[in-house]
Structure 1
Amino acid sequence: MKPIIISASLFFGVIFVQAQQISVGEMARTARFSKVIDEINNGEAVLKYSDIQGDPFYKSGFSKAKVGDAENILSVRYNMYKDAFEVLNDSDIYAIPRNNAFSKITFIPSNETFILLNDDAGVAGYFLLLAEGRNTLLKKMAVSYSPEMPAPNTMIAGSPARFDLQKPIYFIKTEDNFIKITKKAEDLINALPADKKDVAKDFIKTNKIKMNEEADLIKLVTFLNK
């Protein structure tokens, strides 16, 4: 769909005037927002999200959130299928541009923060921030789409179109590296800076850290940041 170019001053002004948290920097900037529709067009048919089993969103509905470094408050949602944040303006929905001005989004009710990464190593997209400091723990979530499969015959049932939540992937971002967490603790230890290898190994062993447990990973990264 062709992007709709609107003035950021008009867009943000309409949304934030009641909250009285209008950022002069945001209002002065002209941004490109693409209007989106809750549907999938696979070339053969157009399906509305409501006709597909499962949910492509991180949370149901829109939630209040801070976008960027300003104090502006928007109603947003995270589309895990598209890996995109979307903002509600009256009855219209727009995709928030992927640029540095909107690279940090914090949901107000839960205080959960997502950051946008795009580096030379091919790491890109939105990540949920779980622990931060010299070492940052990030969680990547995604949803896949499977089209409808008609029944091949009367003996075998078909399957409806559906969204499936994928298993999350965890990363530790150090000052010099971006480490994908695997089930093997040795993989992480070998990728850590030299001054962290032994202490990390001892901590993992002593505290029986499981590399596939989110709470354990938060505990480990919090320790590494001390």
Structure 2
Amino acid sequence: MNKITTPKGILTYGDIEGNAYYTNTFTSAKIENATTLINVRYNTYTDTVEILKDGSIYVLPKNEKYSKISYANSPEVLVYLNSGEMEGYYFELVPGKYRLLKKLKAEFRPEVPAVNTFTSSVAAKFENLNPVYYFEINNQFVKVPKNMKDLLQEFIEKKSEIEAFVKANKLKTNQEGDLIRLAKFINN
């Protein structure tokens, strides 16, 4: 589970720089349809939720039965979606009719050996990519564009109210806090 096969052999996560997990430690969480709190951690590289039970690590099945994971000591909620292109785990930043979601992803970068004596080799590493945000609008998921004007085109029903709110608060699509404020405003 914590190994990657490369042309040079098998590497464990401990041999690789960076982090494949949202948090390295297991955190207590309530999983939908489970009766007790369970220790979990989210692997952003494999897009899986790992469970620690009796000293062994298991992978939570990806299905609707266990589609919501609420962390016990924080307001974070991880949801599983299986809707066309939106398959996998997403953090639900704002629930409601216009739900705001965040996708985290880590990519594996293999070791790059030195080409000559003037360059140094680069170790294998996990690289955390920038988060991608989505709004759920009329049961469709819309990736948040770079331009606020483009995003506002998606909210036809309340467009003038939302435009005034965005302008008054100088909101930007590249700021998570701004997107959360916008989602809360739209859902009221």
If the TM-score is normalised by the length of the shorter chain, which range does it land in? over 0.9
Q: 1:168 aligns to what?
A: 131
Matches for 1:39-188 after TM superposition, within 5 Å = 39-42=3-6, 44-120=8-84, 122-188=85-151
Distance in 2 separating the partners of 1:216 and 1:166: 20
- The one-letter code of the counterpart of 2:168 is T
Structure with the larger RCO, 1 or 2 (CA within 8 Å, 6+ apart): 2
* Higher helix proportion: 1
Q: 1:218 aligns to what?
A: 180
What value does the CA root-mean-square deviation take over the aligned residues?
Answer: 1.3
- The one-letter code of the counterpart of 1:218 is I
Unmatched tracts of structure 2, length 5 or more: none
- The one-letter code of the counterpart of 2:87 is A
Runs (4 or more) in structure 1 with deviation over 6 Å come to none
* Higher strand proportion: 2
Normalised to the residue count of structure 2, the TM-score between the two structures is: 0.95
The 3-state SS of whatever aligns with 1:209 is: coil
Distance in 1 separating the partners of 2:29 and 2:130: 25
Distance in 1 separating the partners of 2:8 and 2:52: 29
Distance in 2 separating the partners of 1:176 and 1:88: 34
Identity of aligned residues (%): 37
- The one-letter code of the counterpart of 1:177 is Q
Q: 1:207 aligns to what?
A: 169
Count of residue correspondences: 188
* Structure 1 residue 148, shift from structure 2 partner: 0.6
**Structure of higher CA gyration radius:** 1
Report Cα offsets for 1:143-174 as digits up to 9, x if no partner: 01001111111111110000011000111112
